[in-house]
Structure 1
């Protein structure tokens, strides 16, 4: 048999490969599209369910509010209030309970069904518990936690404040049964798709419990509720599984035919082909030292020798490429890190510079009239003996807020400083000790334990001691607020980095900062909800001070575990600028 005929036989056998590739490609594409369609269907179902929940609850709230706002509750007699409560109760058949309370939370009357009715029949014990339950007053509607009763199913208490805040507030509480919502969610679900309503803590309020390994989509509704559309993978991908079995049958039949033909046609070339296959597999595994070692003089022998030469060249080139790749990757990683750090520092510096210039101009214009307001308030307070208590309190508020504005103006003027004043050689460890001593009473009062860790042989830095102490003080103040009210541990570290840089770490065990907020903490006037009483300029001012000292300030944090602020400055003998 000639080599040509042998190659024809090989082509016939290899003909199975395109078939298998086509099958895998087709199945992969179909699985991707089917998964996308299933996910989109679940999303639409969950979205429709969420809109249904919101529309139903909002409709009940609107109806009850519309009627309740027209009734003069405080002027009604007890019998009239019962009649008014019945009017509210009849506004919707899903209302299981209506309760009226005065400002002290006392029950002034309630309505609920105790016998067969279009309304849910609520057990008397549960009705009494809800009727006597204390509720916190809040403007508008307050939705309480769901109550799942074995008799009537899920029930949600909703409370409406009947009077304006500041007056004697009465509240109207309605117990809304979710039976209609649960029925509509079940009716709107496609076949094999289960829809359930979950409470704020993830507990199912209606619908089947969560199934392990199922595909689902969830949409927020209101009051922390979520609508979840869920379907088992077996049901979702049933058509894919059938198609896989069909392709498997086709490939099996084709493979059996090709194998039978190959066994007949490849007897004469089995040994050299096996050698080449083994060599190819070895190369695929990365064994570039493997050789065919053929001794025949036909075309397959020449192919084997060419293969060995190719393997030798690959082995040589692969060694060179590994060396080049290692060196190139190291250079790319180092340069990328440098460029990224430089870009972030430059952008932050430009942002602070622009904000500082604008803020300094505004501060100049505000400062003069502010001094007039503050001075007037202080003069009047000096005569407080002739003032009534209410006026004195208002003047104290004006003085306090004016002083707060003055502090903001001073910090904004500090942001505008773009040069280092009176630079001298400074030992950062003494600055850290000074800050710790100055804040000792404040730290002790906040229940914060201070741990200092200072390396030996810390090189000096060039800078203004007062400015650097001011920057570190801002970081310590932030850490104290982050650990309030429970207190914690504050770790102050001064360390040298290869005798070229000096770093100061301010590490606390506070609440931490969310990852999405880390990029914003150095922006002027940025503050967190927990720290809304701060000026929002401390970290921005610290960043500005470090920047004019040719340094860098960075932050790392884990929510619930604490935050580390790091100031890095060039050592005095180099005077390098950190990028």
Structure 2
């Protein structure tokens, strides 16, 4: 037998036989591992969908119970009841209608959309709610009354069985919560399940199906509205799923196809989440493995038959590969490596070539990293320089305006004092019924307003001699909030104080900082007028041993982006009515700058405004005022 034939037989014995053995072993192990993986994946998916469905429904029950925690339905007036129901109704998009019931189960107030355009003019969020027909309102009242009568004493809420709405033919449930007390009434809402259905439709991947069954085993949700309306019965196909208490596996047939399914109960609702996939699709990776195994075996045999004639060129090919590798490095492909595994001189040359390529690639990577670091540092320094230039330009503008204001105030004070004095004397001399007294009173009021503007200009222009002593920041903020407590309560503003734990001491002047916080609070109150949500958050943070940050965040009208650069300019205002002088923020900027701190403002129009002050912290041994 020729050497070429012997080499061919040796290659077949050493390559084809091990490949076939490995393929058979891999088939057996893959079949077992794939079955376990598919079952576990289906269990987890079904459990996740069950938990999500329970959370979607029961979270509404929690919200309704929380809304009634401090509210007695029978004690609410018509406007208060309507406001409570509107808040609940707008909190979620999928609530079709909500109602307030008395202890006898009679509806006392309700909110639903029957005229989308009229409701949208009142509140844009109503556009995200379905239009409800009169028959559906009656059906909801009946179902809600039944659920309120069935609320357990130990839980405080109940959820109805899923049903299709009478006109829209969409799946929904009624969630009812009873207020504490024997005759306190309750709150109920109709929750549409379209969001759950849409999620199930989005979770379908390939041949996989994800759906929900009700307590009787009928199809509840699967992402297809037509199928949901037919309410297909799965109790015969999946006998163990309805009423299941834990996850399980099952198989069923549909349209001549075998399906592998996993199911999981939905907590507290009695529903069942099911994940199913056709058997052939579930075992498709195994079939692909078989095809690849036999394909590899065939390629191996073909490779062996093709390899024998080229063995004669075994010495020439490594040299050619070395030449190709050198050309790749010359083209700039520094990651190119030779996979020549030899133990002779050619192997040593290939390893030396790879070491050289690795060294070149490492040096190139370090050079690129250094360039990126240098560019980042340049960008950071440029940004810092720009911020410094902006601060310097603002300070220069304020200083120039301050000089101008000082001159104006000095020149206006004397004639203004003369005007005020003469007008007061004339008012004192004129009788009460004199017709000209009203005109003089108007002159006196406008002169006093000019005097107030002059005092503001003096505050902007004069450098105050601040004590810069250690003081308790929280005490200053509390004093300002207490002084404005009446205005906050009257305006319906909810204040949320998020102070840093413990005392926070800063270096500053108590009166000056109190005036700054008072001005900022007044601006926030003005911005929240006629807003549906009125909340003010005051937070303090210890940035480091040298700096303390104060944030005042409101839910007011906000400021347009094009006005933010001018917001600290004197006489610039964004108020809808000219009730102020446009000097408050300029004065605040001057005072904070004299304290050695900074003040910045971030605002989103229609969302709110956040004012951030950074002040120097007092040393640990500083005396507390």
Q: For this structure pair, what is the TM-score category when the shorter chain's length is used for normalisation? A: 0.3 to 0.5
